[in-house]
Structure 1
Amino acid sequence: MKMGLMDKLNSVDHSSPNHSEEKHLDDILDRAESLMAAIEAEGTPPGVHLAYELEYQRGGRNIVESGFWGLLGLMFIGVPLGMIVMMLLAFLSNPSGATPLGLICLPLLGVGAFAFASMGKDIVSEPVRNLTDPDPVEHVVERTWLDPGNRFVAVYLHATDDESGIEHKPEIVTAFFVGENSYVSVGTQHPHGGADNVDPGREIVAIYAMTKITDYHSAHTITFAYGQRLKADELGKTISDVMGIRLKN
């Protein structure tokens, strides 16, 4: 799982005598916040480019996905418990027919059932919450900004509550400086999968910030629908030209 900027900041060992990485991450956060403030106050600053804008919705009930994971979690809980109940009923109906192996297996099955039930509880909790108390539906705009003068890339998220129309404070999705080892890649993930689970594929533009200052190798990925390779190539070339970093196809 990709570690975000704030996660990385929180994970830094502040007791370490070497604070080079911590300082670099603080510089990233400071630059990201100042750029966001400038954009909010005055619009696009001179020399800064809006590379890409993505709009989507988040929140609300997801009946299909929550239903699937909810049923899966209930299976983890119900199947082992059902097996234990059946074995107990069989034992109680004919105690004399119980074998030593069966008596040994019953508590072991109980331990396994407890583990599966605990796992099922973790799986089912989020789907239940989504169905009973969903997050508010929000209209989201995610913008990728390029600041070649400062060798800086920042992605901000703007969310507006659909019901109230209230616009929330912008969020920093990710931000990083680019260096001589940084590059942007453009690739295609082809459709794959079986009849019941087909991945439609996608075109991928990824910016990799490989710097010598820190081991924080950040990346930001922008995806297009499969078949929109021309758009992906154009965006990749734009990012490469504006930021002065290599383009890999």
Structure 2
Amino acid sequence: MKMGLMDKLNNDANLTRSSQPMKQRKEDEGRGQLLLDSIEEHGVPDNVILLTENAYRRGGRQIGASLVGAVFGSMFFLLPIGLMIVSLFGDAFVLVPCLGIFGIPFFWFGSRLAGPAFQNLTNPDPLEDVVEMLWYDSRHRFLAGIEHTSDAETGQEYYPELSYGIYLKDGDEIAILYDTPSEGGMTNGDRRVCLWDPQSELESYVVLNLQWFGYYEEEEARERARFFARKLRLRFEHEENEITGWNMEVVNPGGGFLITRGSP
């Protein structure tokens, strides 16, 4: 007998909470795609709930940002080139090779700024309406991020795509990490509710960012954290600066001076 999608989804329903605690997080070996196909073909199963839904628009020609990138990127190109031209007219030929070598990092950085900017101005990505949905399969303790995309001009909908699939494991928690605003208002700061693995052996304890908030939306963030904790049946106790999201035993085992790129 051929096994259907729902049979495949439910065939190991008794292998999660009743089993011994998992030391390692189980890999998604197809359950996310099965869940996506099942929702599309048969509707939402009884044991699956929608946790978050985020709609936005992407692609298209970003004139303002692209012009800024093109101008600043071109300046990094023009500076060493201008110095070489001045050296040629000033009979300082010996400086031209030196300036060429000196200009390599300028050319590289300028291309990183100007290249995507000119690409967006001349050949922008298609304008799309995107809806990101986070589904939770309580029977298998499984999270699936599914992206629905449609053409912003024609309204044509494309088949959804699976962004990620994550199994929960014993010991997971819900946490809030915050980044305080900088002095002078250069950055506004933020808060985020995330899935937290205190036993992680990776660089970060953050498994998944669930929802973002402004820094001063403290109570709203806590309310959503309690919501996720209730739905996922996890503890919510950790609320700290985002620096605590780094697993220092991995990223800085020697305990020396540390510079990190991005957020955990």
TM > 0.5: yes
Give secondary structure in 2 for the equivalent of 1:219. Answer: strand
Match of 1:229 in 2: 218
In the aligned structure 2, how far is the partner of 1:232 from the partner of 1:173? Answer: 24
Residues 1-249 of structure 1 mapped to structure 2, 5 A cutoff? 24-25=26-27, 28-91=28-91, 103=94, 105-192=95-182, 194=184, 198-208=186-196, 219-221=207-209, 222-247=211-236, 248-249=238-239
Give secondary structure in 2 for the equivalent of 1:56. Answer: strand
Partners of 2:191 and 2:212 within 8 A in 1 = yes
Q: Deviations over 1:85-126 (max 9, x none)?
A: 1111111xxxxxx5xxx83x4321112224422432233111
Partners of 2:194 and 2:206 within 8 A in 1 = no
Identify the range of structure 1 (49-58 vs 237-246) with the bigger mean alpha-carbon deviation: 237-246
In the aligned structure 1, how far is the partner of 2:129 from the partner of 2:231? Answer: 29
In the aligned structure 1, how far is the partner of 2:38 from the partner of 2:158? Answer: 17
Match of 1:20 in 2: none
In the aligned structure 2, how far is the partner of 1:130 from the partner of 1:224? Answer: 29
In the aligned structure 1, how far is the partner of 2:116 from the partner of 2:57? Answer: 19
TM-score (norm 2): 0.71
For 1:189, give the aligned amino acid. Answer: D
Q: Deviations over 1:181-233 (max 9, x none)?
A: 212212333333546xx323323111135778x96977221212343333322
Partners of 2:128 and 2:151 within 8 A in 1 = yes
For 1:75, give the aligned amino acid. Answer: M
In the aligned structure 2, how far is the partner of 1:158 from the partner of 1:37? Answer: 13
In the aligned structure 1, how far is the partner of 2:176 from the partner of 2:153? Answer: 38
Match of 2:6 in 1: none
CA RMSD for the aligned pairs?
2.6
- Corresponding pairs, count: 212
Q: Which runs of 5+ in 1 are unaligned?
A: 1-22, 92-97
Identify the range of structure 1 (33-42 vs 228-237) with the bigger mean alpha-carbon deviation: 228-237
In the aligned structure 2, how far is the partner of 1:127 from the partner of 1:172? Answer: 29
Give secondary structure in 1 for the equivalent of 2:30. Answer: helix
For 1:153, give the aligned amino acid. Answer: L
Identify the range of structure 1 (173-182 vs 112-121) with the bigger mean alpha-carbon deviation: 112-121
Partners of 1:174 and 1:220 within 8 A in 2 = no
Q: Which runs of 5+ in 2 are unaligned?
A: 1-24, 240-264
The structure in which a higher percent of residues are helix is 1
